């Protein structure tokens, strides 16, 4: 059977960010707590006219510059920032991207994990019908209560991937390790805009799930820990991945020194430090960061992935970077997008944080603000109207 995996990958984040030094100043906290303690520098804040739909469409648009979006057979949309209890956010994206009417669309949810489920399901669909191309999009806005410990770990972003046979970026191995446990470490009831989180507990469950998912992977796969050259972790904040990788390296008695262990993940952390947590998207934005910023050519290198969704479901899986992958990346586009962002003053951050959210069917025109290609133009009669610019 031919290999299956990620053929193209592109991400998007908002054009606004808050520097965590600004947040620290407003909170009377030492900025080093954020820059060093949690390893984050900036957090992306969506513009008034951005949400998971516009970010998703902006992440996916570059994938269709050189090919026809009509070939997509399925769009799998992963998010935990749902905008509707019934309609899949991907259906709006289907129109914005001009996908074919015969393309199926569905939304997946399990906290930050569901993009991994989407990738695995997409691989299974393509394995069954190798001529198909499946579009997987993960898009999220991480929002916590003001003045809560989670506030500094907010962020936003979306990632879009084409899943195909004989992919040009990375093949995904079929063997995976899973771990599921019914725990309350982080959740967001339907009536809340912000997540409820038991922060310290969540970091412990993350590490426990890593060990259990790894043990299951080790039983399922013929690969040893030393067969994996680089690692990408779910990234609520970059220090979490550093702790996780040290933990896994210790469990596996890695022969590497501390610097060698750090080098296996450092490339994957760069974009996350600048955009913050993007929940479902973070693992794959981490992969993009590794591919686009690694000092080494990664062709033929095997990467280990750890996906974690609070609540909780975790998965360890692996993939091998394809020869010539670097020709198919969107590095310049991503760099230009990050460079063109505008810094927010603390008051502007609060203004975006408290963006109005009509709930009673009233009409609201939304000021044009995003530099992205798509925007939420108005909400009226409980309907959201999206436009392409
Ligand atoms: N200089 C340098 N370091 C400093 C410092 C300073 N002045 N002040 C504090 N630090 C260090 C601390 O020593 C600590 O380091 P260690 O973890 O190595 O001990 C680190 O900075 C954080 O400090 P605190 O533990 O005091 O931070 P906190 O309790 O205020 O918040 C947190 C930490 C609980 C993770 C919080 O950010 C949070 O609740 N985040 C949201 C939940 C989350 O992201 N959980 C991750 C696992 S769950 C998941 O992954 C799913 C998801 O996406 C949410």
Residue to substitute in 80, 140, 149, 314 for testing ligand 1 pocket (most ligand atoms within 8 angstroms of CB): 149
Rounded (to 5) percent helix, strand, coil in the chain? 40, 25, 35
Kindly report the number of other CB atoms within 10 A of residue 167's CB atom.
25
Tokens of 164: 């195909």
How far from 198 is each of 16, 209, 310, CA to CA, in Å?
A: 28, 16, 11
305 closest CA partner among 274, 256, 268:
268
Supply the residue whose CA is at minimum distance from atom 41 of ligand 1: 150
Q: What is the DSSP letter of 141?
A: E
Which of the four pLDDT bands, split at 50, 70 and 90, describes residue 239? very high
Task: Calculate how far, in angstroms, residue 34's C-alpha sits from the geometric centre of ligand 1.
Answer: 8
> Residue 342 above 70 pLDDT?
yes
pLDDT tens column, 102-157: 999 999 999 999 999 999 999 999 999 999 999 999 999 999 999 999 999 999 99
Which of the four pLDDT bands, split at 50, 70 and 90, describes residue 85? very high
> Residue 87 above 80 pLDDT?
yes
Which of the four pLDDT bands, split at 50, 70 and 90, describes residue 1? low
Q: Cα separation of 128 and 226, whole Å? A: 31
Query: Do 319 and 163 meet the contact criterion of CB atoms below 8 Å apart?
Result: no
What is the radius of gyration, based on Cα positions, of the chain? 20
Q: What is the mean pLDDT of residues 307-320?
A: 98
Q: Cα separation of 250 and 56, whole Å? A: 37
Please state the atom number of ligand 1 nearest to the C-alpha of residue 282.
Answer: 53
Residues in CB range of 28: below 8 A, 6 or more apart:
none
Tell me phi and psi for residue 372, to 5 degrees.
Answer: -70, 175
Please state the atom number of ligand 1 nearest to the C-alpha of residue 200.
Answer: 34
Q: What is the mean pLDDT of residues 38-51?
A: 98
Tokens of 338: 């990050």
Q: What is the mean pLDDT of residues 300-322?
A: 98
pLDDT > 90 fraction of the chain, expressed in percent and rounded: 97
Query: Do 73 and 305 meet the contact criterion of CB atoms below 8 Å apart?
Result: no
Kindly report the number of other CB atoms within 10 A of residue 353's CB atom.
16
Tell me phi and psi for residue 171, to 5 degrees.
Answer: -90, 145
Q: What is the mean pLDDT of residues 338-343?
A: 98
Residues with CB under 6 A from ligand 1: 30, 32-33, 36-38, 112, 149-150, 153, 185-186, 197, 199-200, 202-203, 206, 234, 236-237, 240, 277, 279, 308, 310
Pick left, alpha or beta for residue 147 (phi over 0 → left; psi -120 to 50 → alpha; otherwise beta): left
Tokens of 340: 């063109």
Q: What is the mean pLDDT of residues 90-96?
A: 98
Task: Calculate how far, in angstroms, residue 91's C-alpha sits from the geometric centre of ligand 1.
Answer: 36
Tokens of 382: 């409980």
Q: What is the mean pLDDT of residues 293-310?
A: 97
Residue to substitute in 30, 37, 80 for testing ligand 1 pocket (most ligand atoms within 8 angstroms of CB): 37
> Residue 243 above 80 pLDDT?
yes
Q: Cα separation of 237 and 123, whole Å? A: 28
Supply the residue whose CA is at minimum distance from atom 16 of ligand 1: 37
Kindly report the number of other CB atoms within 10 A of residue 298's CB atom.
22
Supply the residue whose CA is at minimum distance from atom 52 of ligand 1: 236
Tokens of 8: 């193209």
What is the average pLDDT value for the chain, to the nearest integer?
97
Supply the residue whose CA is at minimum distance from atom 50 of ligand 1: 236
Tokens of 359: 């709930």
Task: Calculate how far, in angstroms, residue 344's C-alpha sits from the geometric centre of ligand 1.
Answer: 23
Q: What is the mean pLDDT of residues 85-99?
A: 98
Burial of residue 54 (number of CB atoms within 10 Å: 0-12, 13-18, 19+): buried
Residue to substitute in 33, 138, 179, 194 for testing ligand 1 pocket (most ligand atoms within 8 angstroms of CB): 33
Supply the residue whose CA is at minimum distance from atom 17 of ligand 1: 37
Query: Do 257 and 131 meet the contact criterion of CB atoms below 8 Å apart?
Result: no
Catalytic residues: 80, 112, 234
Q: What is the mean pLDDT of residues 203-212?
A: 98
Please state the atom number of ligand 1 nearest to the C-alpha of residue 35.
Answer: 2
pLDDT at 66: 86
Model pTM score: 0.98
Task: Calculate how far, in angstroms, residue 141's C-alpha sits from the geometric centre of ligand 1.
Answer: 19
Tokens of 351: 């203004």
C-alpha angle with apex 201: 317 to 115, nearest 5 degrees? 30
Supply the residue whose CA is at minimum distance from atom 54 of ligand 1: 236
pLDDT at 359: 87
Helix 238-251 vs helix 266-275: angle between axes, to the nearest 10 degrees?
150
């Amino acid at each position: 059977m031919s290999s299956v995996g990620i053929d193209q990958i592109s991400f998007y984040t908002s054009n606004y960010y808050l520097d965590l030094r600004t947040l620290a100043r407003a909170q009377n906290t030492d900025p080093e707590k954020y820059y060093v303690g949690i390893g984050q520098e900036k957090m992306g804040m969506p513009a008034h006219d951005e949400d998971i739909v516009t970010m998703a469409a902006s992440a996916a648009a570059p994938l269709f510059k050189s090919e026809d979006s009509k070939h997509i057979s399925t769009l799998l949309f992963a998010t935990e920032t749902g905008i509707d209890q019934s309609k899949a956010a991907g259906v709006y994206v289907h129109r914005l991207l001009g996908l074919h009417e015969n393309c199926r669309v569905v939304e997946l949810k399990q906290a930050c994990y569901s993009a991994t489920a989407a990738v695995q399901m997409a691989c299974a669909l393509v394995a069954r019908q190798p001529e198909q191309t499946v579009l997987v999009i993960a898009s999220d806005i991480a929002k916590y209560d003001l003045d809560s410990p989670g506030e500094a770990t907010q962020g936003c972003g979306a990632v879009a991937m084409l899943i195909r046979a004989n992919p040009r970026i990375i093949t995904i191995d079929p063997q995976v390790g899973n771990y599921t446990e019914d725990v309350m470490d982080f959740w967001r009831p339907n009536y809340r805009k912000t997540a409820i989180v038991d922060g310290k507990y969540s970091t412990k469950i993350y590490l426990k799930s890593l060990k259990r998912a790894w043990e299951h992977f080790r039983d399922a796969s013929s690969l040893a820990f030393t067969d994996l050259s680089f690692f990408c972790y779910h990234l609520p904040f970059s220090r979490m991945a550093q702790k996780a990788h040290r933990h896994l390296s210790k469990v596996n008695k890695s022969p590497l020194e501390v610097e060698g262990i750090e080098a296996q993940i450092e490339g994957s952390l760069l974009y996350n430090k600048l955009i913050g947590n993007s929940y479902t998207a973070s693992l794959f934005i981490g992969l993009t960061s590794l591919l686009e910023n690694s000092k080494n050519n990664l062709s033929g290198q095997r990467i280990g992935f750890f996906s974690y969704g609070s609540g909780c479901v975790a998965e360890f899986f692996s993939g091998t970077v394809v020869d010539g992958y670097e020709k198919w990346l969107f590095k310049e586009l991503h760099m230009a997008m990050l460079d063109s962002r505008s810094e927010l003053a603390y008051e502007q951050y609060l203004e975006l944080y408290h963006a109005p959210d009509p709930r009673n069917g009233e009409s609201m025109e939304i000021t044009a603000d995003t530099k992205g290609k798509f925007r939420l133009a108005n909400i009226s009669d409980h309907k959201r109207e999206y436009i392409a610019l």
